[in-house]
């Protein structure tokens, strides 16, 4: 089944590398106009722009700052004209010792929640307002296996933030379906990205490989077809769902 997203404007956060980059390229290849957000790496963002179709654009914002998060959404609307689909992919995973310094742990917790949950919630809020005005819209949130299975003690903030994303998405799906707004969760496990590499550098790659049912780790490209399908409207009746993409490491 070939899917065309021509005419759709899709905002993808955290798009300069890893999962976000793969999603932005996959959506672009399906014909979408992708508004690709990034935080700080101009070189990677320019490289992404070169890899997408000519209608796509890049936008820079620090999602740990509320004002910049709001500005991002308004800038995309202003410069492209509309947003049809919001893909909240941007996230951070900080190793923070539970039995360590209270002040550092709190700072790590607050930063993780600001990026992973507050910014996601705020962009969903702006998306809902815009979609009601436009008559429809779709939200795709990238959560994590950790939201359901939990994580190691030093990544509890990450797991908690991603659990919040799941509840947020389900609430949006239930509250706004009658306004033609659909919301979906994707919950990856280990994906071969820079973020996962930080974890594997700490625990060893065998830790990740021994934790999955398949022979190799999930790649960012493995998530792109699912996001294209969700963005297309062909699985709208699955609104509120969470789809696991974790190589069989956690099945619920």
Catalytic residues, which ones?
A: 158, 162
Cβ(181)–Cβ(139) under 8 Å? Answer: yes
Cα four-point dihedral sign 8, 9, 15, 16: positive
Cα four-point dihedral sign 119, 115, 109, 210: positive
What's the CA gap between 8 and 67, in Å, rounded? 26
What's the CA gap between 53 and 48, in Å, rounded? 10
| Residue 189 vs residues 10, 139, 141, 200: alpha-carbon distances, Å | 24, 20, 14, 13
């Amino acid at each position: 089944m070939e899917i065309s997203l021509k005419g759709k404007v899709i905002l993808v956060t955290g798009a300069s590398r890893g999962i976000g980059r793969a999603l932005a390229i996959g959506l672009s290849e399906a014909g979408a106009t992708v508004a690709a957000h990034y935080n700080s790496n101009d070189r990677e963002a320019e490289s992404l722009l070169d890899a997408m179709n000519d209608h796509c654009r890049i936008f820079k914002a620090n999602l740990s700052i509320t004002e910049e998060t709001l500005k991002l959404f308004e800038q995309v609307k202003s410069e492209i004209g509309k947003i049809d689909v919001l893909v909240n992919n941007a996230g951070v995973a900080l190793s923070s010792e539970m039995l360590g310094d209270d002040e550092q742990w709190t700072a790590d917790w607050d930063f993780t929640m600001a990026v992973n949950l507050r910014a996601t919630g705020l962009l969903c809020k702006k998306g809902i307002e815009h979609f009601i005005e436009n008559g429809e819209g779709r939200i795709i949130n990238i959560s994590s296996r950790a939201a359901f299975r939990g994580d190691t003690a030093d990544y509890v903030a990450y797991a908690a933030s991603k659990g919040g994303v799941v509840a947020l998405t389900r609430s949006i799906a239930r509250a706004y379906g009658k306004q033609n707004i659909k919301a979906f969760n994707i919950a990856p496990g280990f994906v071969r990205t820079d973020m996962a590499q930080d974890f594997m550098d700490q625990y060893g790659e065998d830790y990740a490989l021994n934790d999955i049912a398949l022979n190799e780790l999930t790649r960012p490209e493995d998530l792109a077809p699912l996001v294209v399908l969700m963005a297309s409207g062909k699985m709208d009746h699955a609104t509120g769902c969470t789809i696991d993409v974790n190589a069989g490491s956690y099945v619920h």
